[in-house]
Amino acid sequence: MDELILVKYGEIILKGLNRPLFENKLIRNIKTSLKDLGKIKVTRAQATIYIEPMDKMIQISQMIERLKKIFGIVSISRVAKVEKDMECIKKQAVEYLLPTLTHHKTFKVETKRADKRFPLKSPEISREVGGYILSKISHLKVDVHTPDIIVNIEVRDTSAYVYTEKIPGVGGMPTGTNGKATLLLSGGIDSPVAGWMIAKRGVELEAVHFFSPPYTSERAKDKVIELTKVLVSYCGKINLHIVPFTDIQMEIYEKCPDDQLTLIMRRLMMKIAEKIGLKNNSNALITGESLGQVASQTIQSLGVTNAAVKLPVFRPLIGMDKDEIVAIARKIETFDISILPYEDCCTIFVPKHPKTKPQLDKLLASESHVDVDGMVNKAVNETELIEITQ
Ligand code: ATP
Ligand code: MG
């Protein structure tokens, strides 16, 4: 009996005429992600993707671990492929599922008959298979309302498939189906989560990190590289741009009023990220800001930060509480890296009494004392590029 994986996808089904575009992208992303495991065959039929290992050495469990991180997948099932004949379906279902079924008390059979020419209808198939299971495993009982386990039978074009498990996928849209955005990635908890949330909607990511040596150490940079690697395990590839930021911070520190430092610095970060983003065909910027979290994230502060750029700024965490953000950070496995203790550049030049209700004209007046365009261009030119792939 051959084992393979059936993958189901959700929202893509709603895409009408564009649907093949989304499906093909998802298949390409699956192939890329599994490439190094060995030879596999990936096909698609009736809103299902079939992934067959062509090499006995490939571990299905390892394939499943990878698939759990691919955006666009709603569920993953490890299945047995059986001959499309009632006797085979019954016998092989019991043989394949016996080790699993013996651990449960109640079950029910659910059948999907995608091949409408198959002689028995779905309820009849379920009844026959159910009866056979009952006759072979004496302690099992049928419970159609709240069974401990569901035996799924799918009768499709060339074969039938039997399985019990539907592992939830990560959902979202396939990477590469929804443009590109540039993520301002600090070493903190919030920005990796923000990047992940936008990537989940099919958006490719570029990342920009502002680095302030010698105030921030090489280890702070390594931490950002590690965070990017985690994001890459979901979305395949990220160009990480490391921007030297010390000179800019010193210049602002010297020439601008203390209570405006953070906001002027944030506006410069946005301008630099936008310039890098536009060079890389990004359609938007992403930050990890959340309304009211700190002085630079009041509604007025976000307004003046926004006014620094023309690209749309996505702030997917805007309405979330810290504990909600932390829950996602744990789930996507960025949390443990984010809480490593290395300084990030923003914690160094922190004013004692930052403005919480800034006025744009006052910030612009202060910015006129420094060469904003010159500093932005210089920082972009000195940026280091690190390409991170799976
Ligand atoms: P995070 O947990 O993402 O660091 P935060 O709550 O510490 O966020 P701030 O330090 O005010 O908030 O930063 C707000 C946003 O600005 C971050 O979410 C991130 O998108 C961006 N940002 C801050 N510092 C940097 C940096 N050193 N490099 C790149 N982006 C940064
Ligand atoms: Mg931070």
Domains and CATH numbers, the chain: 1-82+166-173 (3.30.70.1510), 84-158 (3.30.2130.30), 180-389 (3.40.50.620)
Question: How many A from CA of 288 to the centre of ligand 2?
Answer: 8
| Opening angle at CA 126, ends 151 and 72, nearest 5 | 50
Report the alpha-carbon distance of residue 55 to residue 45 in Å, rounded. 22
The CB of 296 under 6 Å from ligand 1? The reply is: yes
Which residue bears the tokens 């009849």?
124
Ligand 1 atom nearest 287 alpha carbon: 20
* Nearest of 18, 71, 309 to residue 204 by alpha carbon: 71
Ligand nearest to the CA of 314: 1
pTM above 0.75, yes or no: yes
The CB of 289 under 6 Å from ligand 1? The reply is: yes
Question: How many A from CA of 75 to the centre of ligand 2?
Answer: 34
The CB of 155 under 6 Å from ligand 1? The reply is: no
Ligand 1 atom nearest 191 alpha carbon: 3
pLDDT (tens place) for every residue of the chain, 390 residues total: 789 999 999 877 677 778 888 999 999 999 999 999 999 999 998 889 999 999 888 999 999 999 999 999 999 999 999 999 999 999 998 999 999 999 999 999 999 998 999 999 999 999 999 999 999 998 999 999 999 999 999 999 889 999 999 999 999 999 999 999 999 999 999 999 999 999 999 999 999 999 998 888 888 899 999 999 999 999 999 999 999 999 999 999 999 998 999 999 999 999 999 999 999 999 999 999 999 888 889 999 999 999 999 999 999 999 999 999 999 999 999 999 999 987 666 566 777 788 889 899 999 999 999 999 999 999 999 999 999 998
Report the alpha-carbon distance of residue 293 to residue 304 in Å, rounded. 16
| Run of H or E including 63 | helix 60-67
